[in-house]
Chain A
Amino acid sequence: MPSLKDLKTRINSVKSTQKITSAMKMVAAAKLRRAQEAAEQGRPYADRMRQVIASLAAKSDGSNGPALLVGNGKSDTHLLVVMSADRGLCGGFNGSITRQTRNEVSRLQSEGKTVKLLMVGRKSADALRRDLGDLYIDRLEGIQGTSVSFADAGSIGKTIRDGFEAGDFDICTVIYNRFVSAITQEVTLTRLIPAEVGSGEADSADDASTVNYDYEPEEDELLASLLPRNISTQVYNALLESSASELAARMTAMDNATRNAGDLIDRLTLVYNRSRQATITKELIEIISGAEAV
Chain B
Amino acid sequence: MAETTQLELVTPARVMVQKAAEMVVAPGVEGLFGVLPRHAPLLADLARGIIEVHENGKIVNRYMIDGGLADVTPEAVTILAERAEDLDAADAGELNTRADAASEAEADFLRAVAAAL
Contact = CB atoms under 8 A, between A and B. Distances in A.
Contact of A38 (B13, B28, B45): B13
Interface stretch (B35-43, B56-64, B89-97): B35-43
Contacts of A187: none
Nearest to A225: B45
A41 interface: yes
Contact of B69 (A44, A52, A153, A214): A52
A151 B43 contact: no
A217 interface: yes
Interface in B56-98: 69, 71, 73, 78, 80, 82-83
A282 interface: no
Contacts of A56: 43
A229 B46 CA distance: 13
A208 B30 CA distance: 27
Given A49-B69, A212-B40, A216-B28, 14 more contacts: A41-B14, A41-B15, A42-B12, A44-B15, A45-B10, A150-B12, A213-B41, A214-B40, A214-B42, A215-B42, A216-B30, A216-B45, A217-B45, A226-B45
20 contacts: A42-B12, A42-B14, A45-B10, A45-B13, A45-B80, A46-B12, A48-B10, A52-B43, A56-B43, A151-B102, A154-B105, A209-B73, A213-B42, A213-B43, A214-B41, A216-B30, A216-B42, A216-B45, A217-B29, A226-B69
Interface of B: 10-15, 28-30, 33, 40-45, 69, 71, 73, 78, 80, 82-83, 102-103, 105-106
Interface of A: 38, 41-42, 44-46, 48-49, 52, 56, 150-151, 153-154, 209-210, 212-217, 221-222, 225-226, 229, 232-233, 236-237
